Chain A
Amino acid sequence: MNVDRNWVPMKWPCGPLEIAHRNKLGSQSPDLKETLQAWARPSALELLKGTPINCLIVEWADGGPEDSAQQQALKPLLEAGRGIGLSFVAKIALKGDAGASVAAARAAGLSAVMIENASGLSSELPAIRQFPRDKAAWETASMIFSATENVWPGLNLQTMNGDTALAGPTGIPWVNSNAWFSLLARELAPGKTLWLDFDPPAASNLLHPAAYALAVADSRAHESRWIISLDDELRAALPKGNVQAKGVWEKLCESAAFFEEHKEWQAFKSQGILAIVSDFRGDNAYLSGEVLNLLNRRQVQFRIIERARTLPALEGLKAILWLDHETPSAKEHAQLLTCVQQGGLVIAAAYWGTPDVKPTEKDPSLRYRLYNVGKGQIAVAEDGFQDPYQVAMDTHLLVSRRNDLVRLYNPETTNCHSSGESVSLHKGRQLVQVLNYSSEPAASVGLWLNERVESARLWQFGAAEARTLQGRPASPGTQFDLPPLSVYCALEFEGTKL
C-alpha cells in the first residue's frame, strides 16, 4: 500500500476512543456523545457522496483501554467506506511502541497510519509522520507529512473589538495564516505533501460558510492540504439536515473541489525577485519563520532557499536576504558576491563583503549601512537582526516597492500569492491567487501586476469556467478590478502581454 498524494483528507472523529477523549477534556455532553456515535455508523458516509473528500483520518489508538473497542466499533464504517472508494488513515497517539496498533490497522484494511512517535514502526503500513511545526523534522518527513500547532486562518479574534478589526503591528488588521509555513515546507521537503492539522475554534454556533472555505484555500493556495476538521456544532447539525449546516458544508466542499480541478497549480513555483536564505532550523527558526510570515503579510512575493542546498542560479533574483547569524561558507560567499557584483542586493546582519569598502549615505529611517560592491550593494543592519517585524519592513523597503510583483488595493483583509510554471516571471502560465481573510466579502479590491497584460482568466469557487477579466494600464503594470471577494479568486494569465 502506498499513500496517495492526491488524497483529500478529513478528520472523522467518532467512536469510543473519541468519546473517552472528550470525557477527559470535560467537553462531553449527551448531544456530543450521540454525534460521535452517529458518525461511527456507515450511514454517516452519505455526507461524502459527490465530494472530493476521499481519505478519512480516524482515531485508532492512544494506549488506553478504549483502543480495542474503538477498532472494533469502526469495522462497519471502514468496510462501508472502502466500498465507496474511501481510504482510511489510522491516527495513533502512542508514546511507546506502536507496532501492535499498526499491525491492527493493517489487518483492518487501513491505508496508512498517522503518527508522531516513529519508534517501533515497521514497514507494514505507510506512515504519515506528524510533528509540531516548531519541531519540524524535515529530513525524516514522509511522502505525506503532517504538522500540528497551526492557526485557524482568518482575522485574529484577539484583535477584534466587536465587529471591528483592530490593527496589527503592520497597521492593518492582523490575520492568521499558515501560508508561510506551507511555502517553507515545500522548499524544505521538496516533492512531499504537507497536511496541516488544525481544528476550528470553539464556537457556540455554526461558523460562517466562508470560514471553512478559507481554511481550505489558505492551505491549497500555498501548496499544502488542510485535514478538514468540522466543529462539533456542525457535525451535530449535518446529520439532522440543518439547512445552515448544509450550506456551510457545501461551501467547504465547493472550495475543496475547486482545487482538485486545478491540481496542476500545485506544481507552480513561487515567484519573487527576493530570496530568503536560511537553514530555518534551531536558533534561526524563530526569526526566519516570523520574517517569512511578516513578508507574506506585506504581500511581498519571495522565494525560499534553504541554505544547505547549493544556491541556485540567481537568475531573476534582485535581492537576497541572508537571515542566519552564521556567515556564508566560502562557496556561498563567492556566489553571493557574484550576485552583488552583477547588480544584486544582499541584506545581512553582518558585513562580509570586500574589505576597505566604506558605507554610503542612506535614508535615516533605515538603520543599515550600505556598501557598494561592483554594480550592487550589501546592506548591513546596524544592530543586527533583532525584531522580525523590523527586518521584514526594512527588507521590503531596501528591495524597494518599485520591485513589487503585485499589489493589492483596498487590501485590509486580503493577501495574495504569485506563482507560475517557471520561477521566471515571463515564461509560461502565471497565477495570482487572492484570499480574503474576513468573513465579510472584500469589496473593490484592486490587483496590480508589475507587468503589462491585456486580460486574465478569473477563477472563482463554484464557477465551472473562468471568465475573462480585462486589465487596464496602470503604469508600469496592469490593474485588475476584482469582483466582490468572498474568500478566494485566482487570476491566470499567459501569452497576453500587451
Chain B
Amino acid sequence: MGAMGAAAGAWLARPMMSLARAVPAGRVAVGVCHEYGADVTGTLAKMFDQLGGLEGLVRGKTVAVKLNLTGDATDRLGYLPAEITHWVHPQVIGATVQLLGQAGAQRIRLLESPMSTSEPLEEFMLQANWEPHDFASAAPRVEFENTNYLGYGKTYSRFWVPDGGLMFKGYDLNHSYEDCDVFVSLAKLKEHVTAGVTLSMKNCFGITPCTIYGDDSPVDEPSLAPRGGRGPFHEGNRPPSKSAPPAVNGQASKDPGYRVPRVVADLVASRPVHLAVIDGIHSMAGGEGPWCDKVRHVQPGLLVAGTNCVATDAVCTALMGFDPMADRGTPPFETCDSTLRLAEQLGVGTRDLSQIEVLGTPIAEARFNFRQS
C-alpha cells in the first residue's frame, strides 16, 4: 500500500482497521440540486467547503477518481441516457474535476473498469455519447485509464486487507489505485439487487480487474484483456487467477448476498476512499441498472459528499428512506448482508447517524424515499 493512506495528509484520518475498535466519525455534506446544469458546480463547491475544502486534501497531489459507469455503454432504461439513470452524470464528473483542479490537484486521473473490455476509457465514454474532451479541459492535467486490465502498469498492485479480509486476503488491482495520493469514489445514488444499495463503497467493486476476477480469467495468470463478469466474487463459481491472493475460506457461502458486501468491505478497507461524492440528482430505483427487473427513473435532486465512505453511504442510505443500521432481512438488505455494517466492523467508518456530522440540508428535509417514489 505504500504511502497511499498517509499521502492524503492530516486533512482526513486514516481509517483504523482493527475489529471492534472505535471507528472514525465522518462529516457528510448534503446538497439539494434539482437538475443538472449550472447549479451542479456551485452546489458541489459549497459542499466541499462545508467539508473543510479540497485544497488541503489535493493540492500538489495525484487524485484518482473512480467513476460509476456500470454495464454496457449502450444499455439504457427506456430512451433515457445512462447518466440520467445509472451512471454518474458527466456534469458531476466535470464539476468535480474542475473543483479538484481549482484546489490545486496536480494530476487528476479518471478511472473505471468498463464491462468486459480493455478499450480506452475515452472510447467507452464516446459510445455513451459523452465527450471526454469536456473532462480533459476542466482541469490542467486530466488522464483516463481503463482499470479492468493491466493498463499502463507493468504489474498489478497488491492491496492486502487489514486483519486478513472477509472474503479474500488481498486484491490485485490496476496500478492506478496505488499510483495516486488521493482516492475519490464518484458514485450514483442507487439501490442494488445484490447489495441493497450501491453508493461510494459498492462503486469500488468495479476497481477489480476482470483479467483476474473475471468468469473466464485464466487459472494461473491474468489474461491480457478482461473476460466476463465477476462471477468469482458474485457466486464463487471459481477462484480468481492463482496469481492473486486466495480466498480467506474456500468453502465460504456461494450466496451473492453474503459475498458481494464482504468483497466491497474488503476493498474499501484495503484501498481507502478519501472522498466520496454521490450523484443523486437523477437516478433509478429498484436496482442498479436497466438490466434489473422493475427499475424506474427517479429524481431525488441530491448531491452528497463526505470524507468517510461508510459515513457518507450511511447518510445516503438514510436519504433513500432506509435505516443505515438495518441488516439482513430488513430493507434495503432483504437478501444480503449490510456492507455498511461489515465495513464498520473492519474499522473503515461508522454508519451510526448519531456519530456523523451532517452538513448542509438536513436528512429529514432532503429525504427521497426510493421505495415509495
What is the interface of chain A, defined by CB distance below 8 A to chain B? 171-172, 363-366, 393, 397, 400-402, 404, 407-411, 444, 446, 448, 474-477, 479, 481
Contact = CB atoms under 8 A, between A and B. Distances in A.
Interface of B: 72, 74-76, 78-79, 81, 115-120, 123, 126-127, 129, 131, 146, 149-152, 225, 290
Contact of A407 (B74, B120, B151, B290): B74
B78 A444 contact: yes
**Lowest 7 CB-CB distances: which A-B pairs, in order?**
A401-B126, A365-B118, A481-B79, A444-B78, A363-B120, A409-B76, A409-B74
A474 B76 CA distance: 15
Contacts of B81: 474
Given A364-B150, A365-B149, A446 B115 contact: no
The main secondary structure of chain B at its interface with chain A is loop
Nearest to B126: A401
29 contacts: A171-B72, A171-B115, A171-B116, A365-B118, A365-B119, A365-B120, A365-B146, A365-B149, A365-B151, A365-B225, A366-B120, A397-B119, A400-B123, A400-B126, A401-B123, A401-B126, A401-B127, A407-B127, A409-B76, A409-B79, A410-B75, A410-B290, A411-B74, A444-B79, A446-B79, A474-B129, A475-B131, A476-B131, A481-B79
Contacts of A401: 123, 126-127
A410 B76 contact: yes
B129 A407 contact: yes
Contacts of B118: 365
Contacts of A408: 74
Given A171-B115, A365-B120, A365-B146, A402 B74 contact: no
A365 B211 CA distance: 13
A402 B126 contact: yes
B79 A364 contact: no
B154 to A, nearest CB: 10
A397 B115 CA distance: 16
Given A444-B79, A474-B129, 7 more contacts: A171-B116, A364-B152, A365-B119, A365-B149, A408-B74, A410-B74, A411-B74
Contacts of B79: 409, 444, 446, 479, 481
A171 B229 CA distance: 11
Contacts of B150: 364
Contacts, number: 56
Most chain B beta carbons < 10 A, residue from A363, A476, A481 = A363
Contacts of A448: 129
A269 B290 CA distance: 36
Contacts of A397: 119-120, 123
A390 to B, nearest CB: 9
Contacts of A476: 131
A446 B115 CA distance: 20
B134 to A, nearest CB: 10
Contacts of B78: 444
A159 B197 CA distance: 33
Contacts of A365: 118-120, 146, 149, 151, 225
A479 B84 CA distance: 15
A341 B131 CA distance: 27
Contacts of A171: 72, 115-117
Contacts of B74: 407-411
Interface centre among B72, B115, B146, B151 (most CB of A within 10 A): B72
A444 B76 contact: yes
B121 to A, nearest CB: 10
A167 to B, nearest CB: 9
Nearest to A474: B129
Q: Max chain B CB contacts within 10 Å: which of A363, A365, A402, A411?
A: A365
A477 B126 CA distance: 12
B119 A364 contact: no
Contacts of A404: 126
B151 A364 contact: yes
A314 B331 CA distance: 61
B228 to A, nearest CB: 9
Nearest to B127: A401
B337 to A, nearest CB: 29
Nearest to A445: B79
Nearest to A450: B129
Residue of A409, A444, A474 with most partner-chain B CB within 10 A: A409
Contacts of A474: 81, 129
A342 to B, nearest CB: 23
B230 to A, nearest CB: 14
A175 to B, nearest CB: 15
B149 to A, nearest CB: 7
A36 to B, nearest CB: 46
Contacts of A407: 74, 127, 129
Q: Which of A400, A401, A402, A475 has the most CB of B within 10 A?
A: A401
A363 B152 CA distance: 8
Nearest to A472: B79
A366 B122 CA distance: 13
A344 to B, nearest CB: 19
A410 B127 CA distance: 12
A247 to B, nearest CB: 29
Contacts of B119: 365, 393, 397
B299 to A, nearest CB: 19
A479 B146 CA distance: 27
Nearest to B78: A444
A448 B129 CA distance: 9
A478 to B, nearest CB: 11
B330 to A, nearest CB: 32
**Which of B115, B120, B129 has the most C-beta atoms of chain A within 10 angstroms of its own C-beta?**
B129
B346 to A, nearest CB: 33
Nearest to B79: A481
A393 B225 CA distance: 13
A364 B290 CA distance: 31
Contacts of B72: 171-172
A365 B131 CA distance: 20
A446 B126 contact: no
Nearest to A446: B79
A309 to B, nearest CB: 32
A475 B126 CA distance: 11
A475 B134 CA distance: 12
Contacts of A393: 119
Most buried by A among B74, B117, B120: B74
Nearest to B75: A410
B146 to A, nearest CB: 7
A475 B83 CA distance: 14
Contacts of B225: 365
Contacts of B126: 400-402, 404
Contacts of B290: 410
Nearest to B151: A364
A446 B127 CA distance: 13
B87 to A, nearest CB: 13
Nearest to B148: A365
Contacts of A402: 126
A476 B133 CA distance: 13
B137 to A, nearest CB: 15
Nearest to A367: B224
Most chain B CB neighbours (cut-off 10 Å) among A397, A474, A476: A397
A481 B72 CA distance: 19
Nearest to A476: B131
Contacts of A410: 74-76, 290
Nearest to A408: B74
B135 to A, nearest CB: 14
A29 to B, nearest CB: 44
A336 to B, nearest CB: 25
Contacts of B146: 365
